[in-house]
Every structure is written in C-alpha cells, then in structure tokens.
Structure 1
Amino acid sequence: MLSIIGFATIITIVVLLLKGRVSPIIALVLVPIIGALVAGFGIAEIGGFFSEGIDRVINVVIMFIFAILFFGIMQDAGLFDPFINKMIAISKGNVIAVAVATVLIAAVAHLDGSGASTFLITIPALLPLYKRLKMSPYLLLLLVGTSASILNMLPWAGPLGRTAAVTGLDPTELWRPLIPLQIIALVLLVGLAVILGIREKRRIAKMSSIEEAQLEAAAASELTEDEPSTQEKDNSLARPKLIWVNLLITLGLVASLVTDLIPAGFAFMIALSIALPLNYPKVSDQMDRIKAHAPNALLMATIILAAGSFLGILGGTGMLDSIAVDMVTILPAMVVPYLHLIIGAFGVPFELILNTDAYYFAMLPVVEQIVTGYGVDTFSAAYAMIIGNIIGTFVSPFAPALWLALGLAGLEMGKHIRYSIFWVWGFSLVLMGVAILLGIIVI
C-alpha cells in the first residue's frame, strides 16, 4: 500500500506541475501531507518528517538566497560589462566569430544562475548584430541556452540546488567534480559554435553572395568599437571604478567555494556584506538593490523548502523505500543497475514532458533510491541524471525564462525546439560520455 500511495503522490505532483494548475510550492507541500494521512500517519508524525526534511535543505536555502543577491549586485555594478562589450566589438561582421562570442558572452552573463537575466543581457545586445548579418535568431537562442545550461551546473543554479535537496549532499561538494566537465563543455560548445557558424555562413551565402557582402560591410561600418550596447540597462547602477575590487571579491568567493574553507552560505553572506556597501554606500540604495533581486532569491528558496518538506514526508513515511523495492521486482534485472544512465540519456526529451521540479523532485529520488541498492554511488546516480538533463533546460516549454527569451527575440517555441533539439540532445550525450571518461559517472 505504501508504494501505491507514494506512487500516486508523485504522479499527482507531476501532473499538477505539468498542467500548471498550482505553484510548485503548493503541490510539494499539500499533496505529500494528504498522502501521509491516507497512509495512516498522524499530524504529529508528519510534523516530525517535515522537520527532518527541512534540516536537510536549510543550508542549500541559505546559499541560494545570498548567492542570487550577490551575483545580481555584481551584474548591476557592471562587473561583466567590459568582457561582454569587448566580445561584441571583436566579433562584429564575422558570422563564425559572432557565434563563438555568443557562447562566451552567455557563459559570463549566466554566472548569477538566473536564466531571465542571462537572456535580458544577451539577446538585446546580440540580436541586432544577428539581424544585420542575416544570421538565424534561432541560432542565437540555441547557443545562449546551451551555454547557460553548462553554467547551470554551478551550485547556486537551480539543478544542483534541487539535487542537493533530494540527496542531502552539499551543493558545492556536488559541483567540484563538475568543474573540469564545465570547462571541457564550454570548449566543445565553442567548437560546435564554429561548426554552426560555418553552416550559417553557407546558408547566408546561398541567399545572395552580393547581399551578404553588403550586409557585412554595413555591420562593420555601423557597429564600431565605441558604439554603445543595445542592451537596456540602468547605467546609474554601474560602478566602473570598482571593477577590479569587485573582481577580486568574486574571485575570492569562488576560491572559497572550490577549497571549501567555510560553508558556501557563509561565504556568500560575507561577500555580499562587503560588496553591497562598497558599491552602494547609501543605505537606501542598498535596500533598493536587495529588493530588486529578492523575488528571484525568495522564489528559489521557498521551492527548495517545499521540496524539503516533500522529501522529508516521503522518506519518513517509508514511501520512497517501498517504491524502490517494488520497482526493482517489476523491472528487468539487467536494467535496474543502469537505470540512472538510461534516464540520463533521455534527459533532454524528458525536458519536453516534465518540468525541472518534476524531474528532480519526483523522478530523481526514486531512481537514486533504486540504483544505490545495487551498489551505485549516490554521486554517480545524481551526475548521470543531472548531466543528461541539464543541457536541455532551455528547450523546455516549462522553463519560464525561455518564454522571456522567445518574446525578446520574437521567435516561436515550436520552431525553436525543432531547430535546437537535435544539437542539444547530441551535446548532452557527448557530455555524459566525457563524464564517464573523467570518472565523474562511474559505470
């Protein structure tokens, strides 16, 4: 009965999240409570399960809140602007260079882990250049989305935070082995950008070689080094004189995360407490910056707290264990030890039918519970499902930031999926292969 109730609880949550009938917070809180009551547990017992679940995720929540605030303020202060503007200036008029620059600009823009801010920075800045060169805006979206997905492996981005909440592991501990993979992935994506840039150049040439020459000449003359970015930004917030100080603070923070000198949440607290008054001495300005970025921080924090409640109840009632045991008896014996690899390999297609919350909060805990019973390391199980899925983040119709990107670029969801799905899925499979070679995923 526990398996049936647990499975019904998970399916109900997935359906509610897919249909968008309720917010993730409501689904993750109320449905497990109802399931536990049906299973015969009392309110006092459920309260105990809740407390255990919250204890597992509270450090993740603290890190998320202060990480999003810190990187949001670094974006406001203009820490990344010189790099972005230089890439735009260098790449003007050359289709392949524009494609490569798009990857690098998106990677820097996504350091705050926010898809919305990444698209707000990159698309208004690069779309006019793509139009002048007659490059496909769908290529722009493909490259920005894939680059941002690679950076989504950062511990303050959503997927690792969700995984940490599910597995009880520390996000920075999860992230460290992924650093080499992120570097390799960006190099591979630059290579893919070159290939796609060559393909795009040939497509443009077929339209008209004369027209292409005119367009490149126009782009070279119109986009000079001194031309301001078309990106809409409040320049009054920029602190160009403090760029080196901000860079040192950020590098010190990243070094602290990599070496694990102090807890990640504490490191971000300290960095924020130094950067905020340094860049915005007035208390009113400090409060304005916090208010500007608080919605993103609090939204992610509340979802992870709700996930802690969900996992605490499903774990405390024994539903997850029961589902895992019963699924093992149903699935072919040869498949079960490799279930995490199979799910990971189909991670990108899953993005088209499951949203991120459903994938990480409903599917991951069940798969992890099953395969660890066969001697698979929790880290390997988690990495297989993360790496296989994360590259497809921005081809999913369930990603709100993607709809923002489509609106900014004036594109259609269906055409974007058709244009990008082959490259994105192939790229995710290549990364899974690289992760296996690096020993991140152990078979």
Structure 2
Amino acid sequence: MLVLLGFIMIAVFMTLIMTKKLTPVLALIIVPTVFGLFAGAGLGIGDMVMTSMKSMTSTAALLMFAIMYFGLMIDVGLFDRLVDFIQRISGNDPMKIVVGTAVLAAAVSLDGDGSTTFILTTAALLPIYRRLRMSPVVLTVVAAMANATMNIIPWGGPTARAATALHLSVTDVFVPLVPAMAVTMLCVFAFSWHLGILERRRLKAAYPDAWSGNLLDDSRLPALDLVDERDTVMADNALDPNRSTLRPKLFWFNLLLTLAIMVLLVVDVLPLPYIFMVGVAVAIVVNFPSPKEQLERVTEHGRSIVAVVGMVMAAAVLTGVLSGTGMVDAMAHWLVDVIPTEWGPHLPLITGLLSIPLTFLMSNDAFYFGILPILAQTASQFGVDPASMARASLTGQPFHLQSPLVPAILLLVSLAGVELGDHHKKVLWRCVVLSLVMLGVAILTGAIVTG
C-alpha cells in the first residue's frame, strides 16, 4: 500500500506542477499532506515535517545569504565586466551564448557546490538572455545539465557517499568514471548547441529585422518591458548600466572579497551559511555605509529570498512525509524484491538504471546509505565487485539534480524567474539521456563490469 501511495503521490505532484495547476510551493505542501494522511500519519505528520525541516535550516540560511551576497555584487557591478566579455566573445549569437552557458556552468561546478554554480551562472548570463530576448528556460536547462554531470566529482558529494557506504576509496570509485563523465559532458555541449540553434531560429522568426547573419542587433529590438518581467535577484538591476548602486572604485575590493569567499567554500573550514553571513555584512558595510542604503539593499532582495527559502521549507513537507510514513523504504525494498535472482550478475546495470528514478524520488543520503548497501550486498553473492556497484549508482546523478527535492535546482529556477514545470519539460528527458550515456560509456570502458 505504501509503495502504491508513494508512486501515485510523486506522479500527482509532478503532474500538477508541469501542467501548472498549482505552484511548486503549494504542491509541495498540499500533495504530501493529503497522501500522508491517507498513509495513516495522523497527527504525527507534524513531527515528520518538522524533523525534516530542521535538517533544511542550514540550507535555507545558505541560500538566503548567498542570494543576498551575489545580489549585492550585481548591484555594485562586479559581474558587469564578465557579462561584457562573454557578449564580446559570442557576438550576440544566441547559439554561442547557450554553448557558453554550458562552459561557464561546467567550469564553476568544479567548486562542488550547485547553489554557487547556479548563482554565478545566472548572475553573469541572465542579463544577456534578457537583453537579447532569449528564453531563460534555456539558461536553466543548460546550466542544470552541466552542473548535474559534473556533480560526480569527488568533493561534490555523491561519490563520497557511495564510497563511504561501501567502504571504498573515493579515488578508486571516481577515476575510472572520468572517461564516462567526459563523454557525457560532450553530450551536454551537443544538447546546448542544439538548444542554441533552436533559440536562434525562434528569435529570427520573432524579430526578422534585427538580424545580420547569425548576429542579433539588440538595438533594433523593441523596448524591454521590465514591468511584466518576474522580479528576480538577477534581472532588473543588472540590465541598467547607469544604476545608482554601481561602485566602480570598489571593484577590486569586491572581487577579492568574492574570491576569498570562494576559497573558503572549497577548503571547507567554516560552515557555508556563516561564510555568506559574514560576506554579506562586510559587503554591505563597505559598499553602502549609510544605514538607509543598507536597509534598501536588504529590502530590495527580500522578495526573491522569501520565494527561494519558502520553497525549500515547503520541500520539507514532501521529504518528511516520504521518510516518516515509510514510503521511501517501502518503495526501495519493493524495487529490490522484484529483481529476479537470475539477474544477479547484471546488478551493476540494474543499479545504474534504478539510480535514475530512485535518486529523483529521494535524497542522496537515503539512496546511498539506505539502498546502495542492500543492492551491493545482494550483488556480492554473485561475485560482483562493490566498486562497480558504487560507480553504477552514480550514473543517475544527471537526473537526480533536477528533482524538486534538491534545493539548488529550486534556487536556479527562482533566480531565473522560470516555472519548475517549464524547466522539467525541457530538461528531464535530456537528463535521462545523459544518465544512460554515462552508464553505457562506463560499461564500455570497463569502469562498470556487468554480466
């Protein structure tokens, strides 16, 4: 019964947000509440949700102050030069801009933090997308694909979890997967190129008089009506080169402060939320010494912060009900039980395929510490190397990162002013392809031994 309820709940949730019958925040609250009561949670559903919410408070704090920090850096003009550089290289060609989005997102993803990657990528490129009337959905899809593929780097999280769960070396798990990750990144660039071509065609049809070859002349586009645009951290202010918040004389200070924060993020000597809290405090005091200006800056970014943090808190309802009612465990064990015994030697392939939906429906912690050991123990009875199982379990990560249970993806769509359903329509099938490519190449290169 719990298995059936769990799968139906996820299906109803995805249907409601993709058809835009409910906003993601409302769907995250209403759908699991109804199904949790059907599952017999009763008044205990409150404790389930609060337990889950406690585990998300640090994430909410991180997103709150990270959004505020990078919003301030956009206010003062830190990213203006980067935007100008990318635009000079792309020459207002939508295809080159989209491919450049993939390159930038992949490079920034090396820090291992999806939230930082999405904040920086959106900060640098959303102004260009808006100026050229390009779809911000394309930005979110490309950035998400690039980051999701790079997510298996050892310090990104999933690889460390898989290695720890099976008592393996992180290096032994990751290094053999490098060729598969490289090929998958080539697929990301291919998808990006195709999306760029489609975007170029769409804009040519919409604004035929503004083109010269493959270059779009934004001066010949109709005026951009910012009143109708969604209010996001990265949008309106970044479009105005004459905004009063620019601080060109403090450019090097703001750059060094940002680099210092990035270094602290990588070396991991302090909690990430605290790093951004201090960064926000220093940035505001130096750039806006007047208390009135400080209050204006905080208020300016408040709406976007509330939207993102609210969605993270709402996600606690879904995760709390899934875990508290036992739906996650029931769904996972059901999938393990339905695997025929004769398929034992092929469990690495099966694990790779299962990792696609399972990591979408549950957290990485739940999958790697709860499900993977069960699968690996079963596979060991057929002589399957646990390292193969660990590597196979990582191939579902491109799809996992698109889950509404991942705070970083909620941050991305919120910053870009994109509906999660619109993002999913374009990204989900592409990420299934990426996961299958990674799994297939890993098998062909011997990183995963099956059969």
Same fold (TM over 0.5): yes
CA contact (8 A) 2:307 2:414 kept: no
CA change 1:385–1:423 in 2 (3 A) is: closer
Q: What is the Cα deviation at residue 271 of structure 1? A: 1.4
Aligned residue in 2 for 1:82: 81
Number of aligned pairs?
376
CA distance in 2 between partners of 1:369 and 1:10 (Å): 18
Q: What is the Cα deviation at residue 261 of structure 1? A: 0.2
CA distance in 2 between partners of 1:105 and 1:389 (Å): 21
1:27 partnered with 2:30 = yes
CA change 1:330–1:106 in 2 (3 A) is: closer
Aligned residue in 2 for 1:355: none
State the AA in 2 paired with 1:147. Answer: A
Q: How does 1:293-312 map to 2 (within 5 A)?
A: 293-312=301-320
SS of the residue corresponding to residue 235 of structure 1 reads coil
1:250 partnered with 2:261 = no
RMSD over aligned CA atoms reads 5.7
Consecutive unaligned residues in structure 2, runs of 5 or more: 110-114, 159-164, 202-207, 221-236, 377-385
CA change 1:144–1:265 in 2 (3 A) is: closer
SS of the residue corresponding to residue 301 of structure 2 reads helix
CA contact (8 A) 2:2 2:330 kept: no
Aligned residue in 2 for 1:373: 374
CA deviations over 1:192-249 (Å, ceiling 9, x no partner): 499769989xx9xxxxxxx9xx9359979x99xxxxxx97336222222222222222
State the AA in 2 paired with 1:293. Answer: H
1:147 partnered with 2:155 = no
1:289 partnered with 2:300 = no
Aligned residue in 1 for 2:247: 239
CA change 1:102–1:304 in 2 (3 A) is: closer
Q: Percent identity?
A: 23
Q: What is the Cα deviation at residue 15 of structure 1? A: 0.4
Consecutive unaligned residues in structure 1, runs of 5 or more: 128-136, 163-168, 204-210, 224-229, 348-357, 407-412
Corresponding residue to 2:127 among 97, 121, 126: 121
Aligned residue in 1 for 2:63: 64
Aligned residue in 2 for 1:226: none
Task: After superposing the two structures, state which structure 1 stretch, 115-124 or 14-23, moved more.
Answer: 115-124
CA change 1:217–1:10 in 2 (3 A) is: closer
CA contact (8 A) 1:77 1:237 kept: yes
CA deviations over 1:48-94 (Å, ceiling 9, x no partner): 43443233322222222222222222222221110110221244288
CA contact (8 A) 2:71 2:301 kept: yes
1:5 partnered with 2:2 = yes
1:18 partnered with 2:15 = yes
CA distance in 1 between partners of 2:325 and 2:38 (Å): 10
1:322 partnered with 2:303 = no
CA distance in 2 between partners of 1:236 and 1:154 (Å): 38
Aligned residue in 1 for 2:397: 386
CA distance in 2 between partners of 1:118 and 1:256 (Å): 21
CA contact (8 A) 1:70 1:271 kept: yes
CA distance in 2 between partners of 1:246 and 1:306 (Å): 34
CA change 1:126–1:301 in 2 (3 A) is: same
